[in-house]
Amino acid sequence: MADDDISLLRKEIGEFLQTHDPADTPRTEFLRARFDAGLAWVHYPEGLGGRGLDAALQPAVDAEFAAAGAPDNAPHRNVIGLGMAAPTLLKYATEADQRRWLRPLWTGEEIWCQLFSEPGAGSDLATAGTRAVREGDDWVVNGQKVWTSLAHEASWALLIARTDPDVPKHRGLSYFVCDMSSPGIEVRALRQLTGEAEFNEVFLGDVRVPDANRLGELGEGWKVTQTTLMNERVAIGAGIAPREGGPIGFLTQAWRDQTGARSGALHDRTLSLWARAEAARLTTARLRQQMAAGLPGPEGSGAKLSYALLAQDVSNAEVDLQGHLGMRFDDYSSRRPDLDEEGRRPAGYRFLRTKGNSIEGGTSEIMRTIIAERVLGLPAEPRVDVDIPWKELKR
């Protein structure tokens, strides 16, 4: 990361802000212009929102815009699009499709979801049975997906479907981009432990997907899927947060605010969790740079596992700190509770919601297997179905 690059970017941001005053420019218009100027994600290629520069420059760019009061692209609204779809499109989509999809994805005008998991094909995603049959220039897709975040808001979906049932499970999948407004798609909300409906099940009945929307070669969907999944794990486990940001920030603030229930044991527990959170934050900064450079690796599984365990331990401590009041949570209105004046949700909500952290994006058990085999080089678990045609597998 060169100082000259930072100085040049700051100069160009200043010039951009002179012609696009955040106070006077409509939000979407401002974000489109920022993308077109190559100041959206500077590590992406020119013409696709970037400058082809070092990913480590991005925080400085974002900070300059934030200091000027500029709107951001609300990344929390399009986590799958930004964290998983964008790097997959950058690697596998044609240049024309990249230009079609990446701009409205970054501005948040088009939300993305991920049609991967199925009933009976969650942890072992390669056994997915949603079928895609070729008809001319289209594929006709039939099947059911589950645990699909943002499907009720999405314009586009990343879809894996089985195009060849006669070969082993990893070799018969293909990867598509699916228009969520296509006839034959039905989205049904799934209500969670917290009462909100964040996930969905999606039914696909004779949905037509153009072959032009296929990413990667026919039958090589598993290869493309790995790119998406590795980025997903880094996106979940290596989120950008300042010191004491995220769950640990809620706990430490609750500790400072609390006067009655603090004990020596809780004090030591809070300090231990703070140290774990800080170590994780520093470690995952490098992983995010790998992801931005298009090089996510199996280490992302370690970040994802660490995040899940830490978030659950922190929420447990926060509830314990508040005593019986910490268990109070009475908003089951099928929506996420509103933030309070300090930007927080009830501790009871976090306690319930973090239970899903060890499931979503790959279970903690699967993460441990990946770490053991691909990071530590330990002997692989026996797998007896990798050479059997998918149609002969017991399901």
33 in a domain, yes or no? yes
Rounded-to-integer distance, Cα 381 and Cα 260, Å? 50
- Answer yes or no: do 201 and 269 share one domain: no
- Model pLDDT, residue 382: 84
- Report the sign of the C-alpha dihedral through residues 313, 315, 316, 322, in that order: positive
Is 354 domain-assigned? yes
Measured CA to CA, the distance from residue 139 to residue 145 in angstroms comes to 17
* More confident call, 19 vs 299: 19
pLDDT given at position 47: 95
Instruction: Point out which residues pair with 143 in neighbouring strands.
Output: 204
Same domain, 143 and 127: yes
> What is the tens place of the pLDDT at every residue in 180-193?
999 999 999 998 88
Residue 238 resides in a domain: yes
121 or 287, which is more confident? 121
Average pLDDT over residues 121-146: 94
Last residue of a domain, one of 47, 72, 97: 72
Residues 230 and 350 in one domain: yes
Inform me whether the pLDDT recorded for 4 exceeds 80.
no
CA distance 347 to 48: 40
Instruction: Looking at the structure, tell me whether residues 209 and 242 fall in a common domain.
Output: no
What are the helix and strand counts (H, E) for the chain? 12, 8
pLDDT at 14 over 80: yes
Distances from the Cα of 296 to the Cα of 177, 238, 288, 299, angstroms:
21, 11, 8, 8
The confidence score (pLDDT) of residue 362 equals: 77
Whether 17 has a pLDDT exceeding 90, the answer reads yes
* pLDDT per residue as tens digits for the range 348-363: 888 888 888 888 777 8
Please tell me whether residues 347 and 274 are part of one structural domain: yes
Among residues 72, 97, 124, which one ends one of the domains?
72
Q: How far is it, in rounded angstroms, from Cα 358 to Cα 91?
A: 28
Local confidence band at 289 (pLDDT 50, 70, 90 cut-offs): low
Q: Which of 76-80, 162-166, 310-314 has the highest mean pLDDT?
A: 162-166
Confidence bin at 55 (pLDDT 50/70/90): confident
Is 269 within a domain? Answer: yes
In terms of Cα–Cα distance, which of 139, 186, 183, 188 is closest to 160?
139
On whether residue 98 sits in a domain, the answer given is no
Please state, in angstroms and rounded to a whole number, the distance separating the CA atoms of residues 222 and 180. Answer: 22
pLDDT at 234 over 80: no
Query: What percentage of the chain carries pLDDT values higher than 70?
Result: 87
Instruction: Work out the mean pLDDT of the chain and round it to a whole number.
Output: 87
Question: Are 242 and 192 in a shared domain?
Answer: no
**Beta carbons of 174 and 211 less than 8 angstroms apart:** no
- Residue 125 domain-assigned (yes or no): yes
* Domain assignment of residue 232, given as a range: 226-375
Choose between 176 and 303: higher pLDDT.
Answer: 176
Please identify, among 48, 72, 96, the residue that sits at the C-terminal boundary of a domain.
72
Q: Verify that 269 and 210 share a domain, yes or no.
A: no
Q: How many residues does the chain have?
A: 395
What is the distance between the alpha carbons of residues 9 and 6, in angstroms, rounded to a whole number?
A: 5
203 by DSSP, 3-state: which? strand
Same-domain pairing of 54 and 194: no
The answer to the question of residue 392 being in a domain is no
**Would you state the pLDDT for residue 305?**
87
Q: Which of 269, 273, 272, 277 is nearest to 245 (CA)?
A: 277
95 in active site: no
* Residue 362, domain CATH: 1.20.140.10
Same domain, 208 and 263: no
Number of domains in the chain: 3
- Please pick, among 196, 232, 299, 318, the residue that the annotation labels catalytic: 232
Query: For position 284, what pLDDT does the model report?
Result: 75
Residue 237 in this model has a pLDDT that exceeds 60: no
Give the CATH number, domain containing residue 184.
2.40.110.10
Please tell me whether residues 122 and 175 are part of one structural domain.
Answer: yes
Confirm whether 161 is domain-assigned. Answer: yes
Same domain, 207 and 310: no
Measured CA to CA, the distance from residue 53 to residue 45 in angstroms comes to 8
DSSP 11: H
Query: What is the average pLDDT across 300-314?
Result: 87
- The pLDDT of residue 224 is above 90: yes
Mean pLDDT of 282-299: 64
Q: How far is CA 188 from each of CA 144, 162, 258, 335, rounded to the nearest angstrom? A: 11, 23, 41, 15
Q: Report, in this order, helix, strand and coil percent for the chain, each rounded to 5.
A: 50, 15, 35
- Do 251 and 350 belong to one domain? yes
% the chain with pLDDT above 90:
53
**Is 292's pLDDT higher than 60?**
no
- Over residues 169-178, the mean pLDDT reads 97
Q: Which of 13, 19, 108, 107 is nearest to 51 (CA)?
A: 13
